[in-house]
Structures are given as C-alpha cells and as structure tokens.
C-alpha cells in the first residue's frame, strides 16, 4: 500500500512510465506490422433479415503478431487513434479491402457491400480522393464499398463533414452510421447527413427482448431510420429471440455471432456459397 502521498506519487509515475513504455512498444510494433504484412482482415457477413441472404460484410482488422498471436483491434486501434498511426492503418485497410473485393468482383460474384471502419481522424477532405484513386486502381465498382463511421467523427464541423459525405456519395460509395445512439449526435444533424444505413450498436442489441430500455431504443432507432429512409442494421445479434424482436420491429439487416463470426477470406467465400444454395 501507499503510506504517504510521496509514495503514491512515486508509484503512480512508475506506473505511468510502464504504461508509456507499453504504448511505445505497441506503437513501434504496429509501425513494423504495417510494413511487414502482419495486419489482416476478417469479414463478418451481414444478412438481410427477410430471406437471410448475405448482402455484404464488415471488414475487421486483426494483427498477426509473431509472438503474441492474433491481436484483436480493441488492443491496438484506440492507441493507433491517439498516436495518429490510425491514418496509415486506415490506408492499409482500404487497400486490403478493395484488393479483396476486386478479386471477388473478378470471380463473378454478385456485388456485396464490403464495409470498412473509418476513424474520426481519417474522415478528412483527403478521403474522397483517396477512395476514388483506390477504386480506380483496382477497377472496383463503387457499389462494393461502404464506410462505417461513428458519430464522433461527424460532430466537429458539420458543413465540412456533409461536404465530404456528399463527395463520397458522388463516387457511389455508401455510408453507414456506426454505433448509432452511443454518441452525441443530435437528430437535427442526423436529418442532414447523406447516409444510407443506421447501425444499432451491440450494447442495445444485447438486452433484447427482455430489457425494456434496450427495446425502446432499438425500436426508436428503427423508426427514425424508416422516417429518414435509411436502412437499419443491428450488430451483435446472438440469439433467436433478439432476431425475432428485430424482425417484428422492422429492422432490415442483421449481423452477429448467431449467424457468423468474422471470417478469414476463404471461409467467408465458403459461407457465401452455402448461403447462395439456400
């Protein structure tokens, strides 16, 4: 224990130091990973709630660390966001997702929307140009690409944000509002955002259908989506009861462990083939 203030201050700064060293270690490791082919994408299918067809997938980044094995994004994305390294990670993700989608496009698959997660720091005036250049380089039809953006990315300069969104839409790339309801977006902004889909966060899906607040929140998001003519997708669907509640509430699409975990590309292709036979 810490008997004096001095002790606890010494303890605290030692601890902070350790935290800082750990962060620096992860940061330099991630820099290395970017150049060294240690990042990869898994694809979690998204399903139409009626009929159960796979209509797209969310690309989720993983880090295959030579010693520590497969590291989930929660262990390095937040750090990458604070250090700014997220920009390079985001560039890698866009590149890798488009390369993969182009392979599927060439194989003659019906178009799937492959969604990538875009952090606030990536949502800049440079983004539309980068998207256009990457689509062109892979000769990828823009319908293959979707961006998931969180409300926090959009709260700063609304006019600027809408301008960037318009440019992205003009390319034919769709936008989805991720983790909807967990941030601070005001409904008057929501009305103005040229987006395609609202995504109900897993924190709300979890309590369906027993938690009255989660039910109220989910049905409200679905109703707002319908009024604004957006699609609504629920993430984190794990049970048949959740699925049934969402279906009865008019949700359009679902994603979650009930159907599939995020999959490596080859396993995703297998899941697609099985889904098409349905």
61/108 Cα distance (integer angstroms) = 25
Q: Hey, how many other C-beta atoms are within 10 angstroms of the C-beta on 255?
A: 25
Q: Is 256 in the site for ligand C2E (CB under 6 A)?
A: yes
Q: Which of 33, 55, 57, 60 binds ligand C2E (CB under 6 A)?
A: 60
Provide, rounded to whole angstroms, the least separation between the CB of residue 91 and ligand C2E.
11
Q: Which of 85, 93, 217, 271 binds ligand C2E (CB under 6 A)?
A: 93
Provide, rounded to whole angstroms, the least separation between the CB of residue 17 and ligand C2E.
27
Q: Please classify residue 138 by burial: count the beta carbons closer than 10 Å to its beta carbon, then call 0-12 exposed, 13-18 middle and 19+ buried.
A: buried
Cβ partners under 8 Å of residue 273, min gap 6: none
Nearest residue (CB) to ligand C2E, 147 versus 165: 147
Q: Which of 235, 242, 268, 272 binds ligand C2E (CB under 6 A)?
A: 235
Provide, rounded to whole angstroms, the least separation between the CB of residue 11 and ligand C2E.
32
**Helix or strand (DSSP H, E) at 265:** helix 265-277
**Helix or strand (DSSP H, E) at 55:** strand 54-65
Helical residues (DSSP H) of 172-264, grouped into ranges: 187-192, 202-205, 212-227, 240-249
Nearest residue (CB) to ligand C2E, 53 versus 202: 202
Only segment of 12-20, 48-56, 162-170, 230-238 that touches ligand C2E (CB under 6 A):
230-238
Angle between helices 86-106 and 5-35 (to 10 degrees): 30
> 209 preceded by cis ω (within 30°)?
yes
Provide, rounded to whole angstroms, the least separation between the CB of residue 241 and Ca ion.
20
Hey, CA dihedral for 203, 259, 263, 57, is it positive or negative? negative
Nearest residue (CB) to ligand C2E, 4 versus 95: 95
Helical residues (DSSP H) of 65-192, grouped into ranges: 77-83, 86-106, 127-137, 158-171, 187-192
Nearest residue (CB) to ligand C2E, 1 versus 35: 35
Chain positions 116 to 145 lying near ligand C2E, rule: CB under 6 A, are 116-117, 119
Provide, rounded to whole angstroms, the least separation between the CB of residue 235 and Ca ion.
6
62/72 Cα distance (integer angstroms) = 5
How many whole angstroms from its chain centre is CA 257?
Answer: 16
Provide, rounded to whole angstroms, the least separation between the CB of residue 243 and ligand C2E.
11
Interaction partner, residue 262 (Ca ion, ligand C2E, none; CB < 5-8 Å by kind): ligand C2E
Nearest residue (CB) to ligand C2E, 62 versus 230: 62
Number of residues that bind ligand C2E (CB under 6 A): 23
Q: Which residues bind ligand C2E (CB under 6 A)?
A: 44, 60-61, 72-74, 77, 86, 90, 93, 116-117, 119, 178-179, 202, 235-238, 256-257, 262
């Amino acid at each position: 224990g810490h008997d004096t203030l001095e002790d606890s201050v010494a303890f605290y700064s030692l601890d902070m130091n350790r935290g800082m060293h750990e962060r620096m270690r992860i940061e330099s490791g991630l820099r290395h990973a970017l150049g060294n082919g240690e990042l990869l994408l898994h694809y979690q299918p998204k399903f139409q709630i009626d009929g159960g067809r796979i209509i797209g997938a969310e690309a989720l980044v993983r880090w295959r660390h030579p010693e520590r094995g497969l590291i989930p994004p929660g262990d390095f994305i937040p750090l990458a966001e604070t250090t700014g390294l997220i920009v390079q990670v985001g560039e890698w993700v866009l590149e890798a997702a488009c390369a993969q989608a182009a392979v599927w496009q060439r194989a003659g698959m019906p178009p799937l929307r492959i969604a990538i997660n875009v952090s606030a720091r990536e949502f800049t005036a440079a983004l539309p140009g980068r998207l256009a250049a990457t689509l062109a380089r892979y000769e990828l039809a823009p319908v293959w690409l979707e961006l998931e953006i969180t409300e926090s990315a959009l709260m700063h300069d609304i006019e600027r944000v809408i301008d960037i969104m318009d440019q992205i839409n003009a390319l034919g790339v769709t936008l989805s509002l991720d983790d909807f309801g967990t941030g601070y977006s005001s409904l008057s902004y929501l009305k103005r955002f040229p987006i395609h889909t609202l995504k109900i966060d897993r924190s709300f899906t979890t309590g369906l259908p027993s938690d009255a607040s989660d039910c109220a929140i989910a049905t409200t998001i679905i109703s707002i989506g319908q009024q604004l003519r957006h699609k609504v997708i629920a993430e984190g669907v794990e049970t048949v009861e959740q699925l049934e509640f969402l279906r009865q509430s008019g949700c359009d699409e679902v994603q979650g462990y009930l159907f599939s975990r995020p999959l490596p590309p080859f396993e995703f292709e297998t899941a697609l083939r099985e889904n098409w036979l349905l």
